[in-house]
Amino acid sequence: MSRQSPFGHPFLLGFDEIEQALDRVAKAAGDGYPPYNIERLPRTEHAPERLRITLAVAGFTQDQLEVTLEESQLVIRGRQSDDKTRHFLHRGIAARQFQRTFLLVDGMEVMGADLSNGLLSIDLVRPEPERVIRKINISASDKV
């Protein structure tokens, strides 16, 4: 049984990429680790309005985290490895890996990332939408 696409209407032209992006987001939504917040930060004298993604990455060092921008995706990876020299009597905190991906709108810019007190914060600047109005000339071709 095939799924009916919400973008299958004849008035919605060129929305294939949005549908593919929604499919990618739906597949990635299942994993809840690490937990994260997304907040809107208001414009200040020194900074434009921006978004901040904050991930709880307790136990990860700066060297074990990687933030990359791959086309229109912000990818955050964390890699920990087991310390073979340690002998645990009880192990409740596992060394783990993660990858968290956020799909960004075209023009979104990453301002920077900061690791503090087990929280990784990444600031993004939203592009100011440009209003474009263009008149289309109509040509007449009367063929008899």
pLDDT bracket for residue 71 (50, 70, 90): confident
Kind plus residue range of the DSSP H or E element containing 70? strand 65-70
Residue pair 54/40 in contact by the 8 Å Cβ criterion: no
**pLDDT tens, position by position, 1-55:** 555 666 666 666 676 666 766 666 666 566 678 999 999 999 989 888 999 999 9
Domain architecture of the chain: domains with CATH: 33-82+96-125 (2.60.40.790)
| Residue 6 confidence (pLDDT) | 67
DSSP result, 75-139: EEEEE----TT---S---S---EEEEEEE--TT-EEEEEEEETTEEEEEEEPPPPPP---PPP--
Structure tokens at 133: 């109005």
- This prediction's pTM: 0.71
Based on C-alpha coordinates, what's the Rg of the chain? 22
What would the pLDDT profile of 84-101 be if each residue is shown by its tens digit? 888 888 988 877 899 999
